[in-house]
Amino acid sequence: MSKLRKITYYFCLCLLVFLLAISVQVPFGTIFSLPDNVILSYSDIELINEKDIFSKLISLSVKDNVLPTINNDEEDEIIVQFKLFDLIPIRSQKVKLMSEDEVLASGEIVGVQMKTDGFIVIESDNENILKGDILKAINDIPLDDFEQVENILLNIKSDTYVSLTLIRDNQTVIEQIMPHYDAVTDSYKLGLWVKDSMGGIGTLTFVKDDNRFGSLGHPISESDTNTIISVKNGDVYSCNVMGVNKSKGNVPGEIRALYLAKDSQGRVDKNCEFGVYGWLNEDSLLLLKGKSYKVGGRLTVTPGRAKILSNIDGEGIEEYDIEIIKTNYQNYSNEKGMVLRVTDKKLIEKTGGIVQGMSGSPIIQNDKIVGAVTHVFLNDSTKGYGVYIDWMMLE
Q: What integer pLDDT is reported at residue 65 of this predicted model?
A: 64
CATH number of domain containing 136: 2.30.42.10
Residues 6+ apart with CB under 8 A from 360: 202, 203, 204, 205, 214, 215, 216, 217, 275, 372, 373, 374
Q: Are 89 and 133 in a shared domain?
A: no
Residue 121 lies in a domain: no
Q: Are 169 and 301 in a shared domain?
A: no
- Of 144, 160, 190, the last residue of a domain is 190
pTM comes to 0.84
For 256, other C-beta atoms within 10 Å of its C-beta total 17
Q: CB of 333 within 8 A of CB of 387?
A: no
Q: CB of 128 within 8 A of CB of 177?
A: yes
Q: What integer pLDDT is reported at residue 330 of this predicted model?
A: 59
267: number of CA atoms within 13 Å, CB side? 5
Q: What integer pLDDT is reported at residue 20 of this predicted model?
A: 53
Specify the length of the chain in residues. 395
Q: Are 349 and 204 in a shared domain?
A: yes
Q: What integer pLDDT is reported at residue 27 of this predicted model?
A: 64
Residue 342 lies in a domain: yes
Q: Which residues of 307-328 are buried (b: 16+ CB within 10 A; e: fewer)?
A: bbbbbbeeeebbebebbbeebe
Q: How far apart are CA 322 and CA 328, in angstroms?
A: 17
Those residues of the chain that have pLDDT short of 70 are 1-27, 29, 65-75, 329-335
Q: What integer pLDDT is reported at residue 16 of this predicted model?
A: 54
Structural domain total, the chain: 3
Q: What integer pLDDT is reported at residue 39 of this predicted model?
A: 82
Residue 379 lies in a domain: yes
Q: What integer pLDDT is reported at residue 333 of this predicted model?
A: 56
Residues forming a β-bridge with 139: none
Q: List C-alpha distances in Å: 20 to 16, 17, 30, 32, 232.
A: 6, 5, 17, 18, 58
Q: Are 236 and 186 in a shared domain?
A: no
Segments forming the whole domain that contains residue 132: 126-190
Q: What integer pLDDT is reported at residue 9 of this predicted model?
A: 53
Q: How far apart are CA 151 and CA 138, in angstroms?
A: 11
Q: How far apart are CA 78 and CA 61, in angstroms?
A: 10
Q: What integer pLDDT is reported at residue 174 of this predicted model?
A: 94
Q: Are 252 and 327 in a shared domain?
A: yes
Over the stretch 288-343, which tens digit does the pLDDT of each residue have?
999 999 999 888 999 999 999 999 988 899 999 999 999 876 555 566 789 999 99
Q: Are 161 and 213 in a shared domain?
A: no
Report the SS3 class of residue 51: coil
Phi/psi for 349 (5° steps) reads: -65, -40
Q: How far apart are CA 328 and CA 298, in angstroms?
A: 9
- Of 166, 190, 214, the last residue of a domain is 190
Q: Are 184 and 286 in a shared domain?
A: no
Report the SS3 class of residue 172: strand
Q: Are 50 and 108 in a shared domain?
A: no
Q: Are 185 and 202 in a shared domain?
A: no
